[in-house]
Protein backbone atom coordinates (compact mmCIF):
# COMPACT_ATOMS: atom_id res chain seq x y z
CA UNK A 1 0.00 0.00 0.00
CA UNK A 2 1.45 3.34 -1.06
CA UNK A 3 1.64 6.04 1.60
CA UNK A 4 0.02 9.29 0.40
CA UNK A 5 2.49 12.11 -0.07
CA UNK A 6 1.77 15.57 1.30
CA UNK A 7 0.05 17.78 -1.24
CA UNK A 8 -1.26 14.80 -3.19
CA UNK A 9 -4.99 15.05 -4.01
CA UNK A 10 -7.50 12.55 -2.66
CA UNK A 11 -9.77 12.86 -5.70
CA UNK A 12 -13.08 11.46 -4.43
CA UNK A 13 -12.96 13.07 -0.98
CA UNK A 14 -12.05 16.46 -2.39
CA UNK A 15 -14.82 16.24 -4.98
CA UNK A 16 -17.51 15.35 -2.41
CA UNK A 17 -16.44 18.23 -0.18
CA UNK A 18 -17.12 20.61 -3.08
CA UNK A 19 -20.15 18.94 -4.66
CA UNK A 20 -22.38 18.24 -1.63
CA UNK A 21 -22.75 21.89 -0.51
CA UNK A 22 -23.35 22.92 -4.11
CA UNK A 23 -26.09 20.30 -4.51
CA UNK A 24 -27.78 21.40 -1.26
CA UNK A 25 -27.73 25.06 -2.32
CA UNK A 26 -29.21 24.17 -5.72
CA UNK A 27 -31.95 22.10 -4.05
CA UNK A 28 -33.00 25.04 -1.86
CA UNK A 29 -32.95 27.48 -4.79
CA UNK A 30 -34.90 25.21 -7.14
CA UNK A 31 -37.58 24.21 -4.63
CA UNK A 32 -38.00 27.65 -3.13
CA UNK A 33 -37.22 26.28 0.31
CA UNK A 34 -35.25 28.16 2.91
CA UNK A 35 -33.63 26.25 5.73
CA UNK A 36 -35.13 28.42 8.49
CA UNK A 37 -38.20 30.56 7.95
CA UNK A 38 -38.19 33.55 10.30
CA UNK A 39 -41.39 34.40 12.17
CA UNK A 40 -42.50 37.95 12.97
CA UNK A 41 -42.97 37.87 16.76
CA UNK A 42 -44.63 40.67 18.69
CA UNK A 43 -45.21 40.88 22.43
CA UNK A 44 -48.11 43.13 23.45
CA UNK A 45 -49.13 44.32 26.89
CA UNK A 46 -52.45 46.14 27.14
CA UNK A 47 -54.99 46.96 29.84
CA UNK A 48 -56.06 49.68 32.26
CA UNK A 49 -53.19 49.41 34.77
CA UNK A 50 -51.43 52.75 35.40
CA UNK A 51 -48.02 51.16 34.70
CA UNK A 52 -46.51 47.68 34.45
CA UNK A 53 -43.26 45.83 34.97
CA UNK A 54 -42.43 43.57 32.01
CA UNK A 55 -40.14 40.52 31.83
CA UNK A 56 -39.63 38.87 28.44
CA UNK A 57 -37.49 36.56 26.32
CA UNK A 58 -35.69 38.90 23.91
CA UNK A 59 -34.45 38.50 20.32
CA UNK A 60 -31.06 37.22 21.57
CA UNK A 61 -32.85 34.51 23.59
CA UNK A 62 -31.94 36.21 26.83
CA UNK A 63 -34.20 37.71 29.49
CA UNK A 64 -34.96 41.44 29.56
CA UNK A 65 -36.88 43.54 32.07
CA UNK A 66 -38.51 46.96 31.96
CA UNK A 67 -40.31 48.79 34.77
CA UNK A 68 -42.65 51.75 34.87
CA UNK A 69 -43.99 50.98 31.38
CA UNK A 70 -47.11 52.73 30.15
CA UNK A 71 -49.74 50.84 28.19
CA UNK A 72 -49.92 49.75 25.48
CA UNK A 73 -46.37 48.32 25.42
CA UNK A 74 -44.93 46.30 22.49
CA UNK A 75 -41.69 44.55 21.53
CA UNK A 76 -41.05 42.97 18.10
CA UNK A 77 -38.34 40.69 16.72
CA UNK A 78 -37.67 37.86 14.25
CA UNK A 79 -37.93 34.41 15.80
CA UNK A 80 -37.12 30.97 14.44
CA UNK A 81 -38.78 27.56 14.54
CA UNK A 82 -39.13 25.96 17.97
CA UNK A 83 -37.81 29.11 19.68
CA UNK A 84 -39.15 29.68 23.20
CA UNK A 85 -41.12 32.94 23.61
CA UNK A 86 -42.20 34.45 26.94
CA UNK A 87 -43.80 37.63 28.25
CA UNK A 88 -44.91 38.45 31.78
CA UNK A 89 -46.41 41.77 32.88
CA UNK A 90 -47.15 42.84 36.46
CA UNK A 91 -49.54 45.63 37.36
CA UNK A 92 -47.58 48.20 39.38
CA UNK A 93 -50.76 49.79 40.75
CA UNK A 94 -53.56 49.02 43.19
CA UNK A 95 -56.19 48.54 40.50
CA UNK A 96 -56.58 47.80 36.80
CA UNK A 97 -56.18 44.99 34.30
CA UNK A 98 -53.14 43.62 32.48
CA UNK A 99 -53.17 41.48 29.31
CA UNK A 100 -49.98 39.89 27.97
CA UNK A 101 -50.14 38.50 24.42
CA UNK A 102 -47.77 36.91 21.91
CA UNK A 103 -48.46 37.39 18.20
CA UNK A 104 -46.76 35.28 15.53
CA UNK A 105 -47.00 36.49 11.93
CA UNK A 106 -49.89 38.75 12.95
CA UNK A 107 -51.96 36.04 14.70
CA UNK A 108 -52.46 35.83 18.46
CA UNK A 109 -50.98 32.52 19.67
CA UNK A 110 -51.00 33.02 23.45
CA UNK A 111 -52.73 35.53 25.73
CA UNK A 112 -53.44 35.96 29.44
CA UNK A 113 -55.38 38.59 31.41
CA UNK A 114 -55.34 39.42 35.12
CA UNK A 115 -57.30 42.03 37.10
CA UNK A 116 -56.52 43.68 40.42
CA UNK A 117 -53.71 45.10 42.49
CA UNK A 118 -50.19 43.96 41.52
CA UNK A 119 -51.47 40.99 39.46
CA UNK A 120 -49.36 39.22 36.84
CA UNK A 121 -50.37 38.09 33.33
CA UNK A 122 -48.04 35.62 31.58
CA UNK A 123 -48.00 34.14 28.07
CA UNK A 124 -45.42 31.69 26.73
CA UNK A 125 -44.87 28.91 24.22
CA UNK A 126 -42.65 27.69 21.40
CA UNK A 127 -42.76 28.96 17.83
CA UNK A 128 -44.05 26.51 15.20
CA UNK A 129 -41.62 23.90 13.90
CA UNK A 130 -42.62 24.36 10.24
Query: pTM for this structure?
Result: 0.73
Mean pLDDT of the 18-24 span: 71
Task: Count Cβ atoms below 10 Å from residue 69 Cβ, excluding itself.
Answer: 15
Query: Which of these, 32, 30, 42, 45, lies nearest to 79 by C-alpha position?
Result: 42
- CATH fold, domain 39-126, is Immunoglobulin-like (2.60.40)
The more confident residue out of 4 and 110 is 110
Averaged confidence pLDDT in the chain: 87
Q: Domain-by-domain residue ranges, the chain?
A: 39-126
Q: CA 46 to CA 89: how far, in whole Å? A: 9
Amino acid sequence: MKKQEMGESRGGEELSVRVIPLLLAMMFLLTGCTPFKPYAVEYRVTGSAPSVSVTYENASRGTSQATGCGLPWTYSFEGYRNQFVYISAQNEGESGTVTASIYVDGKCYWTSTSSGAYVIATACGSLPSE
